[in-house]
Amino acid sequence: MSKLRVLFLCVHNSARSQLAEALLRHMAGDHFEVYSAGSEPTQVNPYARRVLQAEGVDTRGLYSKNVADLVDQPFDYVITLCAEEVCPYWAGTAVRLHWGMPDPSAVQGDSTEKLEAFRQTSRLLKQQLAAFLETIHSPAMRGKV
């Protein structure tokens, strides 16, 4: 059985999509090929790395990528994470899901408040990812992807 290919998209590919990429890779192991990208990539937010590392999630290999560099690749699922901004467009044939959530890097305040925003986003993503994995592995979905 081939691995399912999942792409997470947001604007800067620095926080939400990076968290989602690393968390799904951690939660699903070798069953998925996981990517993330953005329409205006910058760099991985240090708070994202910090939260992931505190949860025992490998952050090696995480870097911001441009969605334009992935347009020729096939994906089974493309999941957009933008809430208050316009998410990158994906023209491929993948199943599209939208999990809009606020950008933790937009939170103003001291480092404790910023870190908590990233922790909250990580918690939300873990819930969404667990539900996603449950759906993918349900008897009704077997053989459909």
Decide if 59 contacts 53 (C-beta within 8 A): yes
Please tell me which residue in 10, 62, 81, 115 is annotated as part of the active site. 10
What type of residue is 1? M
Please indicate whether residue 38 is annotated as part of the active site. no
Q: Which of 67, 82, 101, 129 is catalytic?
A: 82
Q: How far apart are CA 101 and CA 120, in angstroms?
A: 10
Q: Scan for tokens 């937009």, then name that residue.
A: 106
* 136 catalytic residue (yes or no): no
Catalytic residue chosen out of the listed positions 87, 115, 124, 136: 87
Quote the DSSP letter at residue 93. S
Q: Is 10 a catalytic residue?
A: yes
Catalytic residues: 10, 82, 87
